[in-house]
Chains A and B, each alone.
Chain A
């Protein structure tokens, strides 16, 4: 579960109010699109949820952790409860696809036996079993993002945060990426996807949270065009 209670974020540099009295709640198992133009507060919201930043006022709860008073030494353990997907994929270039996914499991101190079972399973989910030995530079943008999704899902987290996951790939592949995230969501994982692509949001529908100038401008469910197809 993700919950923000009366959260303000104020940047001293430039005197900018990035978020103003934001309150929202995302229940376990939801799939939520977060939209908004540049400067709306999306990046700040993500930084709050990953505990890269703490709010100026208010409280933030993610996966049972109160991030407002989370000690620095506990941050790694909190981050293990979620998966992150980035616009620029952020794969480790000198590791193969298999090793990139296995890496996150090693970080969480999983056994070699578990890693040998889990990595092929998640690579199969994103249909990349045949690319296990390839390096990121040998993959297309869409394939690299699928590896990033496999890496985020490998530790079986309760929450996946995707920051513009379709921003660096061909538009026709964007739908495929969201489909994969939807499949992961069906397994019970909460998915929070930040995007600029309104066509994508309209197509898939569901819960949409729109941010505007640091405030929640819209938070409701819409029907997707794709539902009728």
Chain B
């Protein structure tokens, strides 16, 4: 296609937005509301993911070292834990003395100091506190660490880890299902709105077919029109998403206690993801607008 004809078709497509302004406005509103819902669903899912991630980060494995292992060996064990296993995020060493102090602090109190007199810090095991970068590897990690010769025992909260994994998996499935459902509903509504608009221009399409226009040539202005409405609706829904999200964050941040109780102290700031959300909204809007419009032309092209 020649450049001049390409720019002509683009102008036609954008011009049609104004010529068919009522239908364009209807499509715009539907797309904007759908994208707002999709955006809020994605943000909710994203935040839940971040919160679960934070909780996962606090889930640690305690690796107890045999008492007879000399102190000189401990740094080697630490290095091996760090370098041999890709799922290890961090390794923190807790010496016998530190462990002893921690125990006294935890169990100690007025009138019970005598309990600690008969035993000494030397009886405490040296310990490595290992964090994982992937909580699903917790069982593998435990079995790997148990196989290390110098390790006496390993303690990990399997149940809690499995609980987090199942929540994450369920949320992922729900998020995908909601996203697909919203996209399908949006596409169906846009398809039907565009069908009315295309029906009003069926004579124009029929003329184009009779003078030898290819289907691609006929679809192109409709494609541009749908895409243009979609991008504008994407930008508008982005603005509304930002307002809604910041209102919710403001409500929560008015009382820090609510955030702490609900574990929401790490809500993602909109500024951190605003360009990403704008990109997704505009891209999704353009795709839905263009696809819905082009699909609605189906039978009118069979002339």
Give the B-binding residues of A (Cβ under 8 A). Answer: 50, 52, 73, 76-80, 83-84, 90-92, 94, 103-104, 106-109, 111-112, 151, 155
Contact = CB atoms under 8 A, between A and B. Distances in A.
A172 to B, nearest CB: 28
A52 B211 contact: no
Contacts of A90: 203, 206-207, 210
Given A92-B204, A106-B8, A84 B210 contact: yes
B2 A151 contact: no
B8 A107 contact: no
Given A52-B303, A90-B203, A109 B5 contact: yes
Chain A's interface: helix, strand, loop or mixed, by majority?
Answer: mixed
Contacts of A94: 19
Chain B's interface: helix, strand, loop or mixed, by majority?
Answer: helix
Interface stretch (B119-127, B140-148, B212-220): B212-220
Contact of B211 (A73, A104, A109, A111): A104
B4 interface: yes
B208 interface: yes
A147 to B, nearest CB: 12
A14 B96 CA distance: 98
A50 B204 CA distance: 17
Nearest to B213: A107
Contact of B207 (A76, A77, A92, A155): A92
A79 B212 contact: yes
Contacts of B4: 111-112
Size category, B interface? 20 to 34
Given A90-B206, A94-B19, A84 B211 contact: yes
B262 interface: no
Contacts of A83: 211
B1 interface: yes
Contacts of A50: 210
Contacts of A77: 212
25 contacts: A50-B210, A76-B209, A76-B213, A76-B214, A77-B212, A78-B212, A79-B210, A79-B212, A80-B211, A80-B212, A90-B210, A91-B207, A92-B204, A103-B211, A104-B211, A104-B212, A106-B8, A107-B211, A107-B212, A107-B217, A108-B211, A109-B1, A111-B2, A151-B211, A155-B211
Interface in B1-36: 1-2, 4-5, 8, 19
B199 to A, nearest CB: 15
Nearest to B20: A94
Contacts of A155: 211
Contacts of A151: 211
Contacts of B209: 76, 79
A111 B19 CA distance: 26
Interface string B178-214: 0000000000000000000000000110111111111
Given A94-B19, A106-B8, A107-B217, A79 B1 contact: no
